Structure 1
Amino acid sequence: MANVPKKLFRGVASTTLTGVYTVPADTTTIITNIVVANAGTSSASILVKLGAITLIPNTPVPGNGMITLDVTQVMDVAGQLVEVQGTSTSLGVHISGVEVTA
């Protein structure tokens, strides 16, 4: 098995729910870290879903603040999505993990 640490997504949160990562065929993905930074001066909220599960439910991020989440969330169904939505495009999101292939 090959274990490959990866940046699964790095970008700005859209204000509509958007798929930012799709689990590839024949791969198990393990989400390990999520960081959300708010570059704006006003509070904004972030929603992160892993498949059908809401992991971060419209959580406020203070202006010029950040949240970090260390997790071990296995996604083992090809085509499963990681989805992100913010209330402001001032939210930067970084999701990292490991892809495991046979």
Structure 2
Amino acid sequence: MAATAKRLYLGNPSTTLTTVYTVPVNTTTIVKSIVICNTSATDTTASIVISTAGIVYNMPIKGKDTVIIDMSLVMYANDTIQVQQGIANNLNITISGVEVA
């Protein structure tokens, strides 16, 4: 089995809960970190759902603040990551992990 470090998502999410990553068939993914950066001076919120479990729900993110969530969460084939921000164009989210196939 090969383990490959991977950026699972990098972007400015929608204001509706949107799937940004799906674990490939015959693969296990381990989510290692989530970085949420508010590039605006305006406070907003972030929501992240992994495999139907809310990781953060409407978490307040202050203007110009960065939140780092370290974890070791195992996902299986066809599990998904969904993200959402409260105000358009305020957040950049990076999700990193390891794919094992």
Which TM bucket (shorter chain)?
Answer: over 0.9
How far apart, in 1, do the equivalents of 2:2 and 2:16 lie?
34
Task: Tell me the TM-score normalized by structure 1.
Answer: 0.96
**Corresponding residue for residue 86 of structure 1:** 85
Structure 1 segments, 4+ long, off by >3 Å, are none
How far apart, in 1, do the equivalents of 2:78 and 2:17 lie?
16
**Corresponding residue for residue 14 of structure 1:** 14
Task: Give the % identical residues.
Answer: 38
SS of corresponding position for 2:28? strand
What RMSD over aligned residues (CA atoms) do the two structures have, in Å?
0.6
> How many residues are matched?
100
Structure 1 spans left out of the alignment, 5+ residues: none
**Corresponding residue for residue 40 of structure 2:** 40
How far apart, in 1, do the equivalents of 2:10 and 2:52 lie?
21
For residues 53-100 of structure 1, what are the alpha-carbon distances to aligned partners after superposition, in whole Å with 9 as ceiling and x for unaligned?
000111011000110000000001x21110001102210000000000
How far apart, in 2, do the equivalents of 1:42 and 1:71 lie?
27
Counterpart residue type for residue 45 of structure 2: S
Task: Tell me the TM-score normalized by structure 2.
Answer: 0.96
How far apart, in 2, do the equivalents of 1:16 and 1:52 lie?
15
Structure 2 spans left out of the alignment, 5+ residues: none
